[in-house]
């Protein structure tokens, strides 16, 4: 997570890190990283969200989208 930590505005990197952690079976770490991504995005919105997340589909995309919606992002 070092690269994402270096840029306080880079929520997108954290979203992808959370996806990688989730795919590797590290659910607790993925959930914590997803929360950190959402927190950053609230201060620094991700431009062109749909386009930038286009390659993420299925349950992984739904997992992120539901979390973002609960936080009031992306509505």
Residue 40 clears pLDDT 70, i.e. is over it: yes
Q: Which residue has the tokens 């079976």?
A: 25
pTM of structure: 0.86
The Cα 29–Cα 21 span in angstroms is 7
Contacts within 8 Å (CB) and 24+ apart, 25-30 = none
Q: What pLDDT sits at residue 74?
A: 74
For the segment 61-74, what is each residue's pLDDT rounded down to a tens digit?
999 999 999 999 97
Render pLDDT for 4-28 as a digit per residue (tens, 0 to 9).
Answer: 455 657 899 999 999 999 999 999 9
- Please give the structure tokens belonging to residue 69: 């919606």
DSSP state of 44: S
């Amino acid at each position: 997570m070092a690269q994402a930590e270096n840029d306080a505005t880079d929520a997108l990197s954290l979203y992808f890190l959370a996806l990688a952690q989730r795919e590797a079976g590290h659910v607790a770490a993925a959930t914590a990283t997803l929360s950190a991504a959402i927190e950053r995005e609230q201060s620094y919105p991700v431009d062109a969200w749909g386009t930038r997340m286009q390659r993420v589909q299925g349950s992984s995309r739904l997992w992120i989208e539901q979390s973002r919606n609960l936080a009031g992002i992306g509505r």
